[in-house]
Copies of this chain bind each other. A is one copy, B any other.
Amino acid sequence: MPSIVESLVRSVQAHPALQHVNCAVLPNRQQIIASIERLLQLVYPGYFGKQGLTSDNLPFRIGELTLELNDLLFEQVRCCLLHGQAASGPAGSDVGAPAASESKVRNDCDEQAATIVGEFFSRIPAVRERLAKDVQAAFDGDPAAQSVQETIFSYPGLVAITVQRLAHELFDLHVPLLPRVMTEYAHSLTGIDIHPGATLGTSFFIDHGTGVVIGETTIIGQNVKVYQGVTLGALAPAYGQLLRGRKRHPTIEDNVTIYAGATILGGDTIIGRGCVIGGNVFITSSVPAMNTVIAEPPKLKYRERRPKGGAAGDLTMDFQI
């Protein structure tokens, strides 16, 4: 056992990029998730978190949540800011930074974090305005929805959009790391991967949602509907780091509907207002407003299967998925 531990310690020391050692302050994924849970309670009070809310106790509950969130977010934002500075250097370079400048950096990050969190709170009412329209869009858009309440209680698209709208404000305030951890947590809950940098218009509805990918520089207008498996992505992402910072993802204008499995790629691709993009359509160039685009579905070959007991073996061998 001691030799196992020794070899593991050596392994940790050999790969600074895989560890966080000798860093006094670190962002903490569990705390970030805890802050998301409280943000959901603040945005949809009574739906998530404590129950029995009345007009009388509501202000106290909101006050309590706000204080808790303030502590959680301040701590995580300052850690992420400190971290972002360390990460500008090579990975693991935060080990042994000169002590003098360090304390100034920390003070700066603390001040910045307080300002950012204050600004973030002041934006929440406007975020809730947009979420109220998303909730209505979810109910209006899905014939299986029995009530507005059902959409808030159970629709994964609404969870993903809510977390992204909140994370987007932190992204907009230049907080590193934190917004992405938030949206990836929503991704793990919902299968819907919306980068915190994406710009979402009001009354946005995602149905079912598993497999949806919406890239960092996507811009989406109002009243847009998206179904499961839709990708709004980049062309040739293989050339990775060269493209960092450029608009790589499409623009979707108002009142567009994009059906399941459609793929729309490229930073110059614009889907004009009022378009309907059919299922499995693959688009890498712009579509003028008010067009319906349908993919000719693959030609189908039909062949009668022989009943079992006949030449079922044959059938088995030449059938390919």
Asked whether, in the complex, the Cβ of B213 is within 8 Å of the Cβ of A208, the reply is yes
A35 within 8 Å of B by Cβ? no
Asked whether, in the complex, the Cβ of A295 is within 8 Å of the Cβ of B296, the reply is no
A66-B9 Cα distance, complex, nearest whole Å: 11
- Digitize A39-62: 1 where CB-to-B-CB distance is under 8 Å, 0 elsewhere: 000111111100111110011001
Asked whether, in the complex, the Cβ of B142 is within 8 Å of the Cβ of A237, the reply is yes
Q: With CB as the reference atom, state the residue of chain B lying closest to A284.
A: B320
Q: For A99, list chain B residues within 8 Å (CB).
A: none
A72 within 8 Å of B by Cβ? no
Asked whether, in the complex, the Cβ of B58 is within 8 Å of the Cβ of A320, the reply is no
Kindly list 4 other residue pairs between chains A and B, CB separation below 8 angstroms, not including A8-B42, A144-B197, A279-B282: A17-B132, A143-B243, A143-B245, A261-B261
The smallest beta-carbon distance between A245 and chain B, in angstroms, is 8
A105 within 8 Å of B by Cβ? no
Cβ-defined partner of A8 (8 Å) among B12, B124, B210, B293: B124
Asked whether, in the complex, the Cβ of B321 is within 8 Å of the Cβ of A12, the reply is no
Interface residues of A in 213-246 (CB under 8 A from B): 213, 215-216, 225, 227-229, 231, 233-246
A173 within 8 Å of B by Cβ? no
Asked whether, in the complex, the Cβ of B66 is within 8 Å of the Cβ of A8, the reply is yes
Q: For A112, list chain B residues within 8 Å (CB).
A: none
Interface residues of A in 278-321 (CB under 8 A from B): 278-284, 287, 290-305, 307, 315-316, 319-321
Interface residues of A in 1-56 (CB under 8 A from B): 1, 4-13, 15, 17-24, 26-29, 42-48, 51-55
Asked whether, in the complex, the Cβ of A193 is within 8 Å of the Cβ of B210, the reply is yes
Cβ-defined partner of A292 (8 Å) among B7, B231, B292, B305: B305
Q: For A147, list chain B residues within 8 Å (CB).
A: 83-84, 87, 91, 176-177
A201 within 8 Å of B by Cβ? no
Known contacts A8-B124, A303-B292; is-contact A184 B155 (Cβ 8 Å) = yes
A122 within 8 Å of B by Cβ? yes
Interface size class on chain A is 35 or more
Asked whether, in the complex, the Cβ of B281 is within 8 Å of the Cβ of A300, the reply is yes
Known contacts A132-B18, A282-B298; is-contact A180 B154 (Cβ 8 Å) = yes
A108 within 8 Å of B by Cβ? no
The smallest beta-carbon distance between A63 and chain B, in angstroms, is 5
Q: With CB as the reference atom, state the residue of chain B lying closest to A233.
A: B260
Interface residues of A in 82-105 (CB under 8 A from B): 83-84, 87, 91
Interface residues of A in 175-202 (CB under 8 A from B): 176-177, 180-181, 184-185, 187-191, 193, 195, 197
A–B Cβ pairs within 8 angstroms, 9 of them: A8-B121, A8-B125, A10-B125, A18-B43, A21-B54, A87-B148, A143-B234, A292-B319, A293-B302
Cβ-defined partner of A238 (8 Å) among B118, B239, B257: B257
